[in-house]
Structure 1
Amino acid sequence: MATATPTRSRLREYFHTEYQPGERKLVQKIDFFILTFCCLSYFTNYLDRSNLSNAYVSGMKEDLGFVGNQLNEINTCFTVGYVIGQIPANLSLHYIKPRYFFPACMLIWAGLTMVTASVHKPQSIMAIRFFQGIVEATTFVGTHYILGSWYTERELGKRSGIFTASGLAGTMIGGFIQTGIHDSLDGRSGLSGWRWLFIIDGIITLPIALYGFLFFPDTPSTTGAFYLSESERALAVSRVPPVEDKSPISWTFLKKCLTSWFFWGFVILWIIAGETESFSTNSLLALYMKSHPTIKYSVSQLNNYPTGIPAVGIVSTIFWATLTDFLNGKRYLVGYFIAITGIATSAMVLAASKDPTNPTSTSVVFAAYYWAGTVYACQATFFAWANDTLRYEEHMFRAVVLAGMNLGSNAVNAWWSIIFYGASMAPWFTRGMWAMIAVSILLVIWTAALSYTTSRHEKKRKAELEQSYGTSDRKSVTNYA
């Protein structure tokens, strides 16, 4: 009889996980209640963010008299608020239950989104987006903190990927929503289509906030969810390492954060990796189309064609999140793939700019920006990498590292996007293309260094666990590690 190959054996093991009694049912419950709320929350969050660019190319620019790089300045105002809110938002989860904190933030940003429909000048949007950035700060990093609190290392990548993909779905669907609103509501009750877009975005968010308030389960040690039995709550706690959860408001805690290689290693990783997403996050394809040297695109085309980028991002995110789970958490592999993508797509756009009126040039640029959408995979995998590495650290230290990653990336992006990807630099963004090549090379170097360091830490951790549990009880070590 033929024996199964090692690859087939690993696939069978991966898709047929052995659970403790009752554990499969527990995972199914937390999958449903955590992922539905977090994904819907992130979906509306990104729907709002992406629709600013959709509104810009759908009449807002002309209605409000935008000039120069004011669109980038609005994004910078949002980013400044987002940076300010990162660490305080995640620290707040130590004192305020997530099922109260998350929905409250959602209600505030829904109100601010709807208020955007009433503005008459770009400066008003700058003020609104600043405060939106503060209240939206907890959505991404707060969710990754929650996912790391509930899921084992083998489960985490896929869930992180599904969550990240939901935000990309918001970006993708936003273009189609704007097209539909522009076609059906433009001029209704005297409001432009782009104004209706912000009103509808805000309304969509409200029932999701209510759902979170009623059903979100908090963390394993604090959950009071009515749909979890006492035995399931105890099982949820036993699935993750027992870590002492101290108050984060102390000089000792601050010193630990600022002197830890964990903190700086992952913060710098995400600063670099975050800038490899610049082509997509700055809506460069839409701006390229808006300023195309020979082709005049319609409003529908300006909104619909760029939706292919987040669609590619969704596929790439889920693929790499699942693959790195299967490869026992080798999240660093994504860094090398993203670096290759950044260098290649930048080179394609630079080459196309040499002959801008050639139809082939347009095809090459579209192909480059669609391919560049694959770099979104780094969001799920790199935050899962940090969660994996910090699994045995204090919960709030892990929360601060995750928040610090996003803080660092957005602090750099606040000025990076203006210097390298200003709207006035369309359609070619030559300076930004060279910047992308530089950060891609730097990403290879930093990923290699960090993967070496975390690998050494992982071996040391497993040795300590074996000594703690005893060499005869290797199964307990495997369950946690």
Structure 2
Amino acid sequence: MPGPTTTPELAKVSSKEQEVFAEHDERTLETGGTADRKRLERKLLWKLDARFCLFIVLYILNYIDRNNTGAARLKGFEKDLGLVGQQFATVLSILYVGYILTQIPSNIIVQKTGRPSLWLPFCMLIWGGLSVATGAAKNFGQVLAIRILLGIAESAFFPGALMTLASWYTKRELGQRITLLYCGSLISNAFGPLIAAGILGRMEGAGGIRAWRWLFYIEGAITMAVAVISVFILPDFPHNSRGFSAEEKELAQLRMTEDVGMKDETTVSTWTALKIALGDYKLHLMSLTLTAMVVGLSFNAYFPTLTKTLGYSSEVSLLLCAPPFVWAAIVAYFVSRDSDKRQERYLHIVVPLVFGIVGAIIAMTCRKSFGASYFALFLLASSYAGFVVFYALVSSTFARPAMTRSISLAYVNAFSQLGNIAGSYVWQSKWGPSYAKSYGIVIAMFVATIIGLTVIRFDLVRLNKKLASRDEAEAKGQEHHGLSATDYPAGFRYTL
């Protein structure tokens, strides 16, 4: 199957690419060769990693402000707001309506302005304020409206952070950094309940205010404070970021050119990039596959409810949430690190999902055993390692041009949030405390994900064979009717 249609904007890449490499050859000779290059590259990566560490903190706050309703539920959130039936599930799911609709526009804004260091903190300041407002809600209608707006504000962060990371790190470096970023989510699932347990256990009635309201006030205020600080720390893109020397920015751009084999074109129009992205069948296939995975991972929002079924108090149940997700963060880090080292994605996604399936089976069949039930939660949490590696697969598959990469990452992430809307209704109270039907849905969704990943892998293998045949024909000076060298430069291969 032919690659995306070559556009006039993309046709300019080959000459620019030659200029970049020519300039690099001269600069290398002037500066003393590869030794200076390696020294400068180590310094660049150190500075990048130091600044990107803040993304982890921001993602922790992003998830805490999104999911603290699960902890608040244990201390009167539903009763005080008069929620009945499926209204709590609706409060959870409605957030993703705004979250889905605004991710692509947000990433376009970031790409157009070139200032994620300003846009992301601005959105963070807004969602922190909305979190505070949740604590002041009086009824179902008010909390529903706040959650819609919260989804809009929070939608900017994850795709924007992914896009920024993908602009600085090569394919061999990116997976591990995405994992470290997503560890912020896993850490929030581990320590968010611990923070909630402290607030809910100590603040009940303070100042005449319910503890669950204090939870939103305190955590929202922390988010707003960190948003202001992050403006001065977060980087922008390699060509315009503050805090880097001209030599470091040139090297950063060169690294990305060498990684893909073509310059990271930043002048492609939004409309052209949108047509390229949405016209690629691989984007829709990956979106559907990730959506199935997200439905399977829906236990995340209900984790305090699941630990409560083990028979302990609300405070102890919140404390029991921490160990499984600390374990998940460790597993995700090492799985992603190995995935980067081997440049292999498929098995590094599938194997954690298999462990998740085993965990769901144990949870369904060994409910009376505390040890088995709690071990099952560890296995379920471990499946997040596959989710993290999936994003590395998406980023390397839709590598260039920059605007297309931005739209693709936002589209896949936004579309997959349909899984969170559906997943909000997977853990219905009437199915508890065994939640056998819920675990059955998890198993079905993970199996569907594995099937989708298998189809994707076979397709990328097929495309890599066509790329290899084209490169061989060009090396021999023969004509070919394969994939365009503009869209797929010589030597480019999809990561499987």
CA displacement, residues 133-189 of structure 1 (integer Å, 9 cap, x when unaligned): 011112112111111110011111111111100121122111111111123322111
**Is contact 2:324-2:381 (8 Å) kept?**
yes
| Cross-structure match for 2:301 | 282
Q: Counterpart amino acid of 1:312?
A: W
What is the CA distance between 1:57 and its match in structure 2? 0.8
Alpha-carbon distance in 2 for matches of 1:467, 1:387: 28
User: How many residue pairs are counted as aligned between the two chains?
Assistant: 443
| Cross-structure match for 1:427 | 433
Match 1:395 to one of 378, 384, 402? 402
Alignment partner of 1:218: what SS?
coil
Alpha-carbon distance in 2 for matches of 1:245, 1:24: 26
Unmatched tracts of structure 1, length 5 or more: 1-16
- Alignment of 1:345 onto 2:359: yes
Alpha-carbon distance in 2 for matches of 1:277, 1:208: 28
CA displacement, residues 238-264 of structure 1 (integer Å, 9 cap, x when unaligned): 0102132245432x4443222202311
- Alignment of 1:30 onto 2:48: yes
Alignment partner of 1:66: what SS?
coil
| Cross-structure match for 1:376 | 384
| Cross-structure match for 2:345 | 331
| Cross-structure match for 2:236 | 218
Alpha-carbon distance in 2 for matches of 1:136, 1:467: 48
What is the CA distance between 1:44 and its match in structure 2? 0.6
| Cross-structure match for 1:311 | 326
Q: Counterpart amino acid of 2:324?
A: I
Alpha-carbon distance in 2 for matches of 1:461, 1:155: 23
Relative to structure 1, the CA distance from residue 151 to residue 462 in structure 2 (aligned partners, 3 Å threshold; closer, same or farther) is farther
What is the CA distance between 1:340 and its match in structure 2? 1.4
What is the CA distance between 1:467 and its match in structure 2? 9.1
| Cross-structure match for 2:283 | 263
Match 1:68 to one of 85, 88, 91? 85
- Alignment of 1:272 onto 2:292: yes
Moved more, 240-249 or 453-462: 453-462
Match 1:88 to one of 77, 94, 105? 105
Match 2:415 to one of 389, 408, 418? 408
**Matched ranges for 1:437-476 at <5 A:** 437-458=443-464
Alpha-carbon distance in 1 for matches of 2:465, 2:167: 22
Alpha-carbon distance in 2 for matches of 1:380, 1:431: 26
Alpha-carbon distance in 2 for matches of 1:234, 1:462: 31
Identity of aligned residues (%): 27
**Is contact 1:78-1:131 (8 Å) kept?**
yes
CA displacement, residues 318-347 of structure 1 (integer Å, 9 cap, x when unaligned): 01111101112x111133213312332222
Q: Counterpart amino acid of 1:25?
A: K
Alpha-carbon distance in 1 for matches of 2:380, 2:255: 37
**Matched ranges for 1:146-165 at <5 A:** 146-165=164-183
Alpha-carbon distance in 1 for matches of 2:217, 2:155: 21
What is the CA distance between 1:470 and its match in structure 2? 12
CA displacement, residues 219-242 of structure 1 (integer Å, 9 cap, x when unaligned): 11232x1x2111111111101021
Alignment partner of 1:216: what SS?
coil
| Cross-structure match for 2:59 | 42
What is the CA distance between 1:422 and its match in structure 2? 2.2
Relative to structure 1, the CA distance from residue 479 to residue 428 in structure 2 (aligned partners, 3 Å threshold; closer, same or farther) is closer
**Is contact 1:239-1:480 (8 Å) kept?**
no
What is the CA distance between 1:42 and its match in structure 2? 0.5
Moved more, 45-54 or 409-418: 409-418
Alpha-carbon distance in 1 for matches of 2:195, 2:62: 15
Alpha-carbon distance in 1 for matches of 2:47, 2:199: 36
**Is contact 1:57-1:302 (8 Å) kept?**
no
Q: Counterpart amino acid of 2:164?
A: I
What is the CA distance between 1:372 and its match in structure 2? 0.2
Alignment partner of 1:120: what SS?
coil
Moved more, 268-277 or 136-145: 268-277
**Is contact 1:91-1:248 (8 Å) kept?**
no
TM-score, L = length of structure 1: 0.85
| Cross-structure match for 2:121 | 103
- Alignment of 1:168 onto 2:186: yes
Moved more, 240-249 or 51-60: 240-249
Alpha-carbon distance in 2 for matches of 1:379, 1:205: 25
Q: Counterpart amino acid of 2:301?
A: N
- Alignment of 1:245 onto 2:266: yes
Match 1:183 to one of 172, 195, 201? 201
Relative to structure 1, the CA distance from residue 301 to residue 365 in structure 2 (aligned partners, 3 Å threshold; closer, same or farther) is same
Match 1:233 to one of 246, 249, 256? 249
**Is contact 2:268-2:401 (8 Å) kept?**
no
**Is contact 2:189-2:322 (8 Å) kept?**
yes
**Is contact 1:37-1:211 (8 Å) kept?**
no
Q: Counterpart amino acid of 2:320?
A: Y
What is the CA distance between 1:364 and its match in structure 2? 2.5
- Alignment of 1:302 onto 2:317: yes
Relative to structure 1, the CA distance from residue 229 to residue 478 in structure 2 (aligned partners, 3 Å threshold; closer, same or farther) is farther
**What is the root-mean-square deviation in Å for CA atoms of aligned residues?**
2.7
**Is contact 1:37-1:208 (8 Å) kept?**
no
Relative to structure 1, the CA distance from residue 71 to residue 232 in structure 2 (aligned partners, 3 Å threshold; closer, same or farther) is same
**Is contact 1:343-1:440 (8 Å) kept?**
yes
Alignment partner of 1:276: what SS?
helix
Q: Counterpart amino acid of 2:417?
A: N
Moved more, 232-241 or 84-93: 84-93
Moved more, 134-143 or 447-456: 447-456
CA displacement, residues 111-145 of structure 1 (integer Å, 9 cap, x when unaligned): 10111111122332111111110111121121111
Alpha-carbon distance in 1 for matches of 2:204, 2:474: 67
| Cross-structure match for 1:4 | none
Relative to structure 1, the CA distance from residue 448 to residue 479 in structure 2 (aligned partners, 3 Å threshold; closer, same or farther) is closer
Relative to structure 1, the CA distance from residue 82 to residue 465 in structure 2 (aligned partners, 3 Å threshold; closer, same or farther) is farther
